[in-house]
Amino acid sequence: MEGKRKAATHDEYIDGLPEPRRADVRALHELVRAAAPELVPTMAFGMPGYGTYHYRYASGREGDWALVSIASNKNYISFYITAVTGDGYLAESYRDRLPKASIGKSCIRFKRLSDVDSGVLAEIVRRAAADPPYPLTGD
């Protein structure tokens, strides 16, 4: 992540970014809060996160993770969506609707928020919040 900051809050993380990245990440934060206000904000691995859940794999490995996370990297913003659909990863199912973004299994990357359709991002957040991969822990 850009600058390897150790922010304790979402505002501290966002305020530590240079412009114009700060404005984009703040707008993305506000988009998530408006689209899914039920997702409790958290800081996870130095990133603003929303909606914590506890996972446990068949191997016995377990931990806590955020359903939605934002990371500011040197060359792009990463928008993590750890949700799946019946057809695969939720983020990947929006590839055609976000042509300027680089999309991996659970990550949507873009240089500027203006490069992507904010309405589509809000739709993704709402869908993720409606059907998380595990029950949300609420803290």
113 within some domain: yes
CA dist 127 and 139 (Å) reads 20
123 within some domain: yes
- Tens of pLDDT along 46-65? 999 999 888 888 899 988 88
Chain mean pLDDT for the chain = 92
For 70-94, what is the mean pLDDT?
Answer: 93
Q: Are 32 and 39 in contact (CB under 8 A)?
A: yes
24 within some domain: yes
Strand partners, 78: 71, 109
Report DSSP state, residue 136.
B
- Residue 2: is its pLDDT beyond 60? no
CA dist 67 and 53 (Å) reads 7
- Its pTM stands at 0.90
Residue 3: its pLDDT value, please? 44
66 within some domain: yes
In the chain, DSSP assigns E strands to 41-44, 47-56, 62-72, 77-81, 84-85, 88-89, 102-103, 107-110
CATH code, domain with 112: 3.90.1150.200
Range of the domain at 50: 2-130
115 within some domain: yes
- Residue 1: is its pLDDT beyond 80? no
Give the count of domains, the chain.
1
- Residue 137: is its pLDDT beyond 90? no
Which is more confidently placed, 68 or 45?
Answer: 68
Q: Are 71 and 62 in contact (CB under 8 A)?
A: no
54 within some domain: yes
- Residue 43: is its pLDDT beyond 70? yes
